[in-house]
């Protein structure tokens, strides 16, 4: 890696080679052995991507943020572990393979469970984990030697251990409840997996006649087809309107079945008519009413959400929505449809396939969540957990306070099979929950059958902070790397994953898995739509890497986000979306090439040896850049610590681009070239500040910083910036006077450059300048930096006093310093006067017609207010431009 730097920055020529070199050296694989106090561990658990996933921009953002943080802490000397893995993703992966089967005209039932699971495994082996390679392309410094898969043997054992321990503690139970059912995926879902979507529907008001014909009761419903399974109508027992009817019988229309009217305190008399239909098999609230009144639960639907044999024959086999239309039609025909009102409400949809979820009564396994939620809530209220941004703590609290039991069984084939065996022997019938597979019933020796269902995918992923480290064994990894520190996630999985890991960590390990939870924004397009495959508005991060480099991708993502805000990218303009990163990388490469090629001459250390540079040898520019460098160290370090990554990147960007490349390097050229003495000092300062800046930038742009840093003279061949010590603040560099003085120099140069540009002075043409403060001579700093000002502003002469000439351009700096540049000898004043005169005439014409327009009563009174405002603003802007021109003409002495 000592070959000369290419003249053009070409990321693809450096990135993969550097990544391979990092990996070879094992820089991302921390040792779990005993280490000194300096090697405090720092752990981030990567949200495991689905094993079949392909890298998208959401992963790009999420993993860039994690990599920035882990690289920062690694350089701070911590034993930094970023632990990667992949998730078997039960429903998602099964759906993918089922779709492949469908192309062959087959269903999973055609091939059978065992063969199907084998097909999924071979699919996973063929295509799986490709995303991990893609993560390397964006520079992720994860410890691939510890990569896990949630279905591998080690983690499967942890899943079983967790299930059995929770069962033994009474925290896992089997229950007969209403769960969310996906009729397409044919499985139960947790409450979180049933995504609420605002949907336009109706409320149908249906009349149920009293059995004796003495009247009717009206009930309201958003799902009329469920009336086929009604087994009662409930009213509040104290409701005056209905109290006398409690205990009487209704004739359920369509089905023609007698059902009772029951009094139940859960009924809200103020809602609808105050009477509610009760369908215990198809609604969670009705299920509870049914239990209290011992009502039958009639399941009128098949798993596919067609009407079952429990309903009248003419409905059997109908799709639930066709049945809905038919039920409504029959009520209408019988004169029992009181009214229909449009109604917008939240309807649960399967988070994997988007099908409307059906509440369904069935036997499932649940985790009792309240006892797990309490300590998790406590960890937040006692200040152990920190959310970034803070407001996310409220979401966490609300979810935990309203938590319901977690349905963890899934009617899928791909996943961890539930470790429960049922004895099939007559007269025994015991249920056994076991850590090891059972062949026979331990009680009677009879045949034992394992539960058919698998566990929710999240039941394995909520364990990864410790299962990935070897739990339930007490491994050295577990002892060293649990608990971790930071979790970086998209807000969408706060409940699915982030909060559940806190519960499991507290329960199984007695400690939270991390203390800082950083929930970053979402990647969106310019219309603020989330990037997605189905919308076709995605950007492939690998394409960006190929065209602009991983560093450009990372810098653009990081600089485009602040804490909690979304990142906006334009899928139709890759160039524009990633230009910031690409341009910065180019600038850095060019500055780096210049600095490195000029470091060859003699240099001296800045401190630490007798030959070191003395403070008195430093010029104002040296003291200024050292002070700016120190300020940047402080600013960037604090910003990284507080997760304000864009501010950290911005601070280093300003330092490298403006302070170092545009000013300091330009300022020291005479010394570097030997035109004036002090080249050794300039080289020493340039080396140190550039080295520090590269280290500060490394977490965001790891490749280019490594490529440049490795080429410093005298650098050992095996040294890597990724483990170079993080720069520390240096109190000796603090120098407010130098900052103020050099800033004045910059402002004077900037003002003269501004005047040159404004009057069209040719770049090669020198000018004279007069600089004064309150009419008197300016501070000594300008005198000392006379050479710098003359060179950088291209001056023939600099007079530090008020001039007597009157023809030229002038500017006043914020501190009152006046800058005057005579232009008589620099430009053709006559031609400039003519140009300005023509421009002034054009503006005068515009102003006249604009004044006339706004003087027109009709226009002002009739046009929309914002149009009139816009026209007035135009008038004001043109007036100002005209005044500037008039002043310029005065200064140039135009006639």
Give the nearer residue to Zn ion in terms of CB position, either 222 or 355.
Answer: 355
Residues 6+ apart with CB under 8 A from 417: 450, 451, 453, 454, 455
SS3 at position 863? coil
Give the nearer residue to Zn ion in terms of CB position, either 184 or 374.
Answer: 184
Give the nearer residue to Zn ion in terms of CB position, either 414 or 655.
Answer: 414
Interface size with Zn ion, residues (CB under 5 A): 15
CA triple 693-697-700, angle to 5 deg? 175
Least gap, CB of 156 to Zn ion (angstroms): 25
Least gap, CB of 346 to Zn ion (angstroms): 18
Place of tokens 């800082």: 516
Least gap, CB of 94 to Zn ion (angstroms): 10
Region of 5-13, 445-453, 580-588, 628-636 interacting with Zn ion (CB under 5 A): 445-453
Region of 247-255, 415-423, 618-626, 822-830 interacting with Zn ion (CB under 5 A): 415-423
Least gap, CB of 429 to Zn ion (angstroms): 7
User: What pairing do the DSSP bridges indicate for beta strands 420-423 and 448-450?
Assistant: antiparallel
Least gap, CB of 26 to Zn ion (angstroms): 43
Give the nearer residue to Zn ion in terms of CB position, either 182 or 599.
Answer: 182
Interface residue with Zn ion among 441, 553, 557, 708 (CB under 5 A) is 441
Residues 6+ apart with CB under 8 A from 319: 305, 306
- Are 423 and 152 a contacting pair, CB within 8 Å? no
Give the nearer residue to Zn ion in terms of CB position, either 116 or 208.
Answer: 116
Say what angle helices 702-709 and 574-597 make with each other, to 10 degrees: 10
H/E stretch holding 360 reads strand 358-367
- Are 460 and 88 a contacting pair, CB within 8 Å? yes
Least gap, CB of 412 to Zn ion (angstroms): 11
- Are 585 and 550 a contacting pair, CB within 8 Å? no
Give the nearer residue to Zn ion in terms of CB position, either 184 or 784.
Answer: 184
Least gap, CB of 98 to Zn ion (angstroms): 11
Region of 11-19, 268-276, 426-434, 766-774 interacting with Zn ion (CB under 5 A): 426-434
What is the rounded CA–CA span in Å between residue 635 and residue 652?
A: 9
Letters for 75-114 (x = contact with Zn ion by CB under 5 A, - = none) are ----------------------------------------
DSSP string, 206-261: EEEEBTTSS-EEEEEES-GGGGGG--EEEE-TT-TTTGGGTT-EEEETTTTEEEEE
Interface residue with Zn ion among 54, 186, 285, 425 (CB under 5 A) is 425
Least gap, CB of 354 to Zn ion (angstroms): 7
Strand partners, 275: 235
Among positive and negative, which fits the CA dihedral 754, 755, 760, 766?
negative
Q: Which of residues 163-222 bind Zn ion (CB under 5 A)?
A: 182, 184-185
Give the nearer residue to Zn ion in terms of CB position, either 421 or 555.
Answer: 421
Region of 353-361, 637-645, 843-851, 882-890 interacting with Zn ion (CB under 5 A): 353-361
DSSP-derived letter for residue 307 is: B
Give the nearer residue to Zn ion in terms of CB position, either 444 or 493.
Answer: 444
Torsion, Cα 823 825 827 832, to 10 degrees, reads 60
Alpha-helix residue ranges (DSSP H) falling in 7-129: 11-24, 57-75, 90-103, 108-111, 113-127
Say what angle helices 829-855 and 865-892 make with each other, to 10 degrees: 160
Region of 236-244, 286-294, 442-450, 687-695 interacting with Zn ion (CB under 5 A): 442-450
What is the rounded CA–CA span in Å between residue 156 and residue 153?
A: 5
Least gap, CB of 445 to Zn ion (angstroms): 7
Q: Both tokens of residue 768?
A: 């004279």
Least gap, CB of 430 to Zn ion (angstroms): 5
Q: Which of residues 355-414 bind Zn ion (CB under 5 A)?
A: 355
Give the nearer residue to Zn ion in terms of CB position, either 189 or 372.
Answer: 189
Region of 263-271, 351-359, 410-418, 845-853 interacting with Zn ion (CB under 5 A): 351-359
Which segments of 791-859 are extended strands (E)?
795-799, 808-812, 817-822
H/E stretch holding 467 reads helix 464-467
- Are 205 and 340 a contacting pair, CB within 8 Å? yes
Region of 110-118, 388-396, 420-428, 702-710 interacting with Zn ion (CB under 5 A): 420-428
Least gap, CB of 184 to Zn ion (angstroms): 4
Letters for 297-336 (x = contact with Zn ion by CB under 5 A, - = none) are ----------------------------------------
- Which of 680, 638, 643, 635 shows the shortest CA–CA distance to 659? 635
Q: Which of residues 446-485 bind Zn ion (CB under 5 A)?
A: 446
Q: Which of residues 553-572 bind Zn ion (CB under 5 A)?
A: none
Region of 255-263, 302-310, 422-430, 489-497 interacting with Zn ion (CB under 5 A): 422-430
Q: Which of residues 809-828 bind Zn ion (CB under 5 A)?
A: none
Give the nearer residue to Zn ion in terms of CB position, either 349 or 698.
Answer: 349
- For position 350 contacting Zn ion by CB under 5 A, the verdict is yes
Give the nearer residue to Zn ion in terms of CB position, either 425 or 438.
Answer: 425
Residues 6+ apart with CB under 8 A from 873: none
Q: What are the backbone angles phi and psi of residue 254, rounded to the nearest 5°?
A: 65, -50
Least gap, CB of 538 to Zn ion (angstroms): 22
Least gap, CB of 425 to Zn ion (angstroms): 5
What is the rounded CA–CA span in Å between residue 51 and residue 85?
A: 9
Give the nearer residue to Zn ion in terms of CB position, either 10 or 431.
Answer: 431
What is the rounded CA–CA span in Å between residue 248 and residue 244?
A: 8
Give the nearer residue to Zn ion in terms of CB position, either 407 or 441.
Answer: 441
Give the nearer residue to Zn ion in terms of CB position, either 304 or 341.
Answer: 304
Least gap, CB of 662 to Zn ion (angstroms): 57
Give the nearer residue to Zn ion in terms of CB position, either 195 or 566.
Answer: 195
User: What pairing do the DSSP bridges indicate for beta strands 148-149 and 85-86?
Assistant: parallel
Region of 17-25, 342-350, 521-529, 707-715 interacting with Zn ion (CB under 5 A): 342-350
What is the rounded CA–CA span in Å between residue 18 and residue 27?
A: 12
Least gap, CB of 188 to Zn ion (angstroms): 11
Least gap, CB of 186 to Zn ion (angstroms): 8
Torsion, Cα 652 658 659 660, to 10 degrees, reads 80
DSSP string, 216-227: EEEEEES-GGGG
Least gap, CB of 427 to Zn ion (angstroms): 8
Interface residue with Zn ion among 203, 210, 438, 444 (CB under 5 A) is 444
Give the nearer residue to Zn ion in terms of CB position, either 89 or 328.
Answer: 89
Give the nearer residue to Zn ion in terms of CB position, either 441 or 724.
Answer: 441
- Are 113 and 514 a contacting pair, CB within 8 Å? no
- Which of 396, 390, 379, 382 shows the shortest CA–CA distance to 642? 390
What is the rounded CA–CA span in Å between residue 703 and residue 1?
A: 13
Least gap, CB of 446 to Zn ion (angstroms): 4
Give the nearer residue to Zn ion in terms of CB position, either 252 or 350.
Answer: 350
Q: Both tokens of residue 371?
A: 């006892």
Q: Provide the binding-site residues for Zn ion, judged by CB under 5 A.
A: 182, 184-185, 350, 352-353, 355, 423, 425, 428, 430, 441, 443-444, 446
């Amino acid at each position: 890696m000592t070959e000369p730097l290419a003249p053009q920055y070409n990321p693809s020529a450096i990135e993969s080679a550097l990544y391979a070199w990092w990996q070879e050296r094992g820089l991302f694989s921390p040792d779990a052995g005993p280490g000194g106090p300096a090697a405090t561990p720092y752990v981030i658990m990567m949200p495991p991507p689905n094993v079949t996933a392909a890298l998208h921009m959401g992963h790009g953002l999420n993993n860039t943020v994690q990599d920035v943080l882990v690289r920062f802490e690694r350089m701070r000397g911590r034993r930094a572990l970023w632990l990667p893995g992949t998730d078997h993703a039960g429903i998602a992966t099964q759906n993918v393979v089922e779709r492949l089967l469908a192309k062959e005209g087959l269903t999973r039932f055609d091939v059978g469970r065992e063969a199907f699971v084998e097909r999924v495994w071979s699919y996973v082996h063929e295509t799986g984990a490709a995303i991990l390679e893609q993560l390397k392309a964006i520079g992720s410094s994860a410890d691939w030697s510890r990569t896990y898969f949630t279905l591998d043997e080690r983690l499967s054992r942890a899943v079983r251990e967790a299930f059995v321990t929770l069962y033994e503690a009474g925290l896992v139970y089997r229950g007969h409840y209403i769960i969310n059912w996906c009729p397409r995926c044919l499985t139960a879902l947790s409450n979180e997996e049933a995504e609420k979507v605002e949907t336009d529907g109706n409320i149908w008001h249906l009349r149920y006649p009293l059995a004796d014909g003495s009247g009717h009761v009206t009930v309201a419903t958003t799902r009329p087809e469920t009336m086929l399974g009604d087994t009662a109508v409930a009213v509040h027992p104290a409701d005056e309107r209905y109290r006398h009817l409690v205990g009487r019988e209704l004739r359920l229309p369509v089905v023609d079945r007698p059902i009772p009217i029951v009094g139940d305190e859960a009924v809200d008399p103020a809602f609808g008519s105050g009477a509610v239909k009760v369908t215990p098999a198809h609604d969670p609230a009705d299920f509870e009413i049914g239990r209290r009144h011992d009502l039958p639960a009639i399941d009128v639907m098949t798993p596919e959400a067609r009407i079952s044999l429990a309903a009248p024959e003419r409905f059997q086999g109908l799709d639930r929505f066709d049945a809905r239309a038919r039920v409504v039609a029959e009520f209408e025909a019988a004169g029992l449809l009181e009214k229909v009102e449009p109604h917008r409400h939240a309807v649960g949809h399967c988070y994997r396939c988007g099908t409307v979820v059906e509440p369904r009564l069935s036997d499932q396994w649940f985790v009792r969540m309240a006892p797990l939620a309490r300590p998790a809530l406590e960890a937040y209220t006692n200040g152990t957990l920190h959310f970034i941004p803070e407001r996310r703590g409220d979401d966490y609290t609300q979810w935990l306070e309203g938590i319901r039991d977690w349905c963890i069984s899934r009617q899928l084939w791909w996943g961890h099979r539930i470790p429960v065996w049922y004895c099939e022997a007559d007269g025994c019938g015991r249920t056994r929950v076991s850590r090891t597979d059972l062949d026979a019933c331990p009680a009677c020796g009879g045949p034992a059958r394992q539960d058919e269902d698998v566990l929710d995918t999240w039941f394995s992923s909520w364990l990864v902070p410790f299962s990935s480290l070897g739990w339930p064994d007490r491994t050295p990894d577990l002892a060293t790397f649990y608990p971790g520190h930071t979790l970086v996630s998209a807000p969408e999985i706060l409940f699915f994953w982030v909060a559940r890991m806190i519960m499991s960590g507290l329960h199984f390990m007695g400690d939270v898995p991390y203390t800082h939870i950083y929930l970053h924004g979402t990647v969106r397009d310019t219309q603020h739509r989330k990037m997605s495959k189905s919308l076709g508005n995605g950007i492939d991060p690998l394409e960006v890497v190929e065209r602009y480099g991983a560093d450009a991708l990372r810098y653009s993502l990081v600089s485009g986000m602040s804490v909690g805000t979304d990142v906006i990218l334009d899928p139709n303009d890759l160039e524009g979306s990633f230009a910031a990163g690409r341009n910065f990388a180019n600038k850095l490469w060019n500055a780096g090439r210049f600095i490195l090629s000029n470091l060859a001459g003699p240099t001296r250390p800045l401190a630490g040896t007798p030959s070191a540079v003395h403070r008195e040898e430093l010029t104002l520019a040296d003291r200024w850049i050292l002070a700016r460098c120190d300020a940047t160290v402080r600013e960037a370090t604090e910003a990284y610590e507080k997760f304000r990554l864009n501010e950290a990147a911005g601070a280093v960007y300003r330092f490298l681009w403006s302070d170092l490349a545009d000013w300091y390097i330009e300022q020291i050229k005479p010394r570097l070239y030997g035109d004036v003495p002090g080249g050794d000092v300039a080289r020493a300062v340039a080396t140190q500040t550039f080295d520090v800046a590269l280290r500060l930038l490394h977490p965001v742009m790891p490749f280019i910083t490594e490529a440049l840093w490795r080429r410093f003279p005298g650098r050992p061949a095996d040294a890597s910036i990724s483990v170079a010590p993080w720069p520390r603040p240096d109190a000796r560099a603090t120098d407010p006077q130098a900052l103020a003085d050099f800033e004045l120099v910059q402002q004077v140069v900037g003002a003269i450059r501004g005047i040159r540009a404004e009057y069209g002075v040719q770049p090669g043409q020198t000018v004279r300048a007069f600089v004064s403060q309150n009419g008197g001579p300016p501070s000594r700093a300008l005198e000392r930096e006379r050479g710098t000002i003359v060179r950088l502003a291209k001056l023939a002469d600099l007079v530090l006093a008020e001039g007597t000439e009157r023809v030229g351009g002038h500017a006043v700096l914020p501190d009152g310093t006046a800058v005057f540049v005579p232009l008589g000898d620099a430009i053709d004043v006559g031609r400039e006067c003519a140009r300005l005169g023509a421009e002034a005439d054009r503006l005068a014409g515009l102003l006249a017609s604009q004044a006339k327009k706004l003087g027109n009563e009709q226009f002002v009174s009739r046009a929309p207010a914002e149009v009139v405002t816009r026209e007035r603003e135009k008038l004001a802007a043109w007036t100002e431009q005209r005044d500037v021109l008039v002043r310029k003409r005065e200064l140039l002495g135009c006639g």
